[in-house]
Amino acid sequence: MLGSNDILRADAASADDELAAYCPDLDRWPSSWMYEERDLSPGRQMVECFKPFLRHLLSLKLSRKTLHKHRDNLWLLGGELIRDLHEAPRLRKRPIAEVVPAALDDEGGPLISHGASEDQQRSFDATCRKLYHFLKDGNAASP
């Protein structure tokens, strides 16, 4: 007979499998954002910050196209935040769990640095708004 701990472990494994299928390269995101070696640690912390939100998106049963749009925009946000760490070194002293929400608000996220179109920025901001509300409502995982 399965106990409640067995069921919880099975549910967690299923969620991990679903997340791995949705973001097969998630573990490589930090190295893709990296300017220098010291960027890996905040990049990994950022991925951990994003995981609960990615799982939340999966739970909404959104279309594949919408899920991929949000996933790609989160990857873009991570790159923008790592860039911010280089432009404002004082940010490195703050925990990533503070840096991420500080970059977001009801309007969206930071301006995309590499000259995105208005449509790309609008899509990015929509994802950032969703993440902002998710974090604001206390849905983030505790460290």
Q: Which pTM does this prediction carry?
A: 0.87
Q: What are phi and psi of 105, to 5 degrees?
A: -160, -170
Average pLDDT rounded to a whole number, residues 89-111: 96
**Tens-place pLDDT, residues 34-56:** 999 999 999 999 999 999 999 99
Distance CA 108, CA 110 (A): 7
pLDDT of residue 140: 64
Q: Looking at residue 103, what is its pLDDT?
A: 97
> What are the sequence ranges of the domains in the chain?
4-136
pLDDT averaged over the chain? Answer: 90
**C-alpha dihedral sign at 132, 133, 135, 141:** negative
